[in-house]
Structure 1
Amino acid sequence: MGLWELFVLAVGLSMDAFSVAVCKGLSVCQIRKKQILTVGLYFGFFQGFMPLVGYLLGTGFQEKIQSIDHWIAFILLSLIGINMIRESGGEAENLDACFTFKAMLPLAVATSIDALAVGVTFAFLKVQIIPAVSFIGITTFVISCAGVLIGNRFGAKYKSKAEIAGGIVLILMGVKILLEHTILA
């Protein structure tokens, strides 16, 4: 696998993380560097880590995870989206609350489950795994940081409506993933 193919793959894998990062940026009035880095590190780490796990576990696990990965992503994204819509009218008591481990972990896992199957594919293609997952992680980190900034710039003017829209986007992303793996498969 060449550098160009790996770059296209890394950008494709990071699009779910980018969408959620935009939603995270929408959720706060004034973004801080710590929050941007938190989102980038969570998403970048998991997008790089999951292909490594898939690579190490091999094909036996691929069939099991592919049968339920879409349900996991759908449930996590829907719950987070519903919660985001529910909290859209209130003022944030603690700006760091939505950037805590408890909030970020499910998002990072939900947006990176598809990368697990990519890791299994890497094993078949005999891809040099450490450079590949590092490249994917760094690409996702940069794209996610940009997503938070973009969401925050937009959300500062339209916070309540933007949070509702962000919640709807998360739910629709979960539905899209579910439909792609059930009806459209």
Structure 2
Amino acid sequence: MATIHFNDFTTIFMMALALGMDAFSVGLALGLQQLRLKRIALIGFTVGIFHVLMPFIGIILGSFMSTKLEGIAVVIAGILLCGIGAQMIFQTFQQKSKQVLAPAGFGLVLFAISVSLDSFPVGLSLGLSGAVAFFILIIFGIVTCSLTWLALLIGRRANHLLGAYSEVIGGSILFGFGLLLLF
């Protein structure tokens, strides 16, 4: 069994922070919706799970596919974020109807996938096996889950300060991140 030195752990932790920052940024925008604490917990946990699953799938498929799938993953993530952001913006101008893509059910899965797709090529490039790969994946999940919770809680607090404009601001941020990924 491989041992992990402090420098290795620092590198892994910094990589996890880098991968989790998109979930943090998007989580800030999503947190501007009126979310209950139970929903926030579920969202963070789901995003953390996907940040474990995506690199795991990447490790299984192997590094030979990384160049082909990396561009596709970014495009898909951009389209998903633009769609979620546009839905949030348009929902603000409608009567209080049911959300088309709420952070629950299928909408939650789409959100988790969109912020986790960038970890897929990381898994492809890691090419590790055994206990060390498991350790890295768990760190990715824990860090991303924590960052998502923090962002959602900050966004939730900002929602109380911004009121009705919070949905438009959050949707605009998500749409902007989507455009940034696409272009």
Normalising by the residue count of structure 1, what TM-score does the alignment of the two structures yield?
A: 0.86
Deviations 1:124-144 (A, max 9, x none): 699821100001101111111
Residue 48 of structure 1: SS of its match in structure 2? Answer: helix
Q: What does the per-residue CA deviation read over 1:71-100, in whole Å, with 9 as the maximum and x for residues that have no partner?
A: 1011101011000000124565679x8231
Query: Percent identical across equivalent pairs?
Result: 29
1:159 corresponds to: 163
Q: What does residue 13 of structure 2 align with? A: 7
Q: Give the drift of 1:159.
A: 3.0
1:61 equivalenced with 2:88 (yes/no):
no
The answer to whether structure 1 residue 51 and structure 2 residue 68 are counterparts is: no
Q: Which amino acid letter does the alignment assign opposite residue 8 of structure 1?
A: M
Q: Does 1:147 align with 2:151?
A: yes
The alignment status of 1:82 with 2:86, answered yes or no, reads: yes
Q: Which amino acid aligns with 2:43?
A: V
* CA distance in 1: counterparts of 2:62 and 2:98, whole angstroms: 42
| CA distance in 2: counterparts of 1:92 and 1:143, whole angstroms | 30
Q: Which amino acid aligns with 1:58?
A: G
Q: Once superposed, which parts of structure 1, at least 4 consecutive aligned residues long, lie more than 6 Å away?
A: 124-127
Structure 2 alignment gaps of length 5 or more: 1-6
Aligned CA-pair RMSD: 2.2
Alignment match, 1:22: 28
- Normalization by structure 2: what TM-score? 0.87
The question of whether the paired residues in 1 share the 8 Å contact of 2:103 and 2:111 is answered with: no
Match of 1:113 in 2: 117
**Aligned AA for 2:80?**
L
